[in-house]
Amino acid sequence: MLVARRIDEEAIAMQRQGELPGYAPMKGQEAAQVGSAAALDLTRDFAFPNYRDLGAAVAMGVDLVGYLSTHLGTWHGGMYDPQASRLAPVNAVVGGAVPHAVGWAMGARLDGTGGVAITYFGDGASSQGDVHEALNFAAVYRLPVIFFCQNNGWAISVPAERQVAGGSVAARAAGYGIEGVRVDGNDVLAVFEATSEALCRGRDGGGPTVIEAMTYRMGPHSTSDDPGRYRTLEEEREWAERDPVARAAANLPAEVVAEAEAHAAQVVRQVREGLIATGERPAGELFSFVYREPTKALLDQQRGSHV
Which residues are part of the catalytic machinery?
217, 221, 230
Judged on CB neighbours under 10 Å (0-12, 13-18, 19+), 147 is buried
State the CB neighbour count (10 A cutoff) for residue 219. Answer: 20
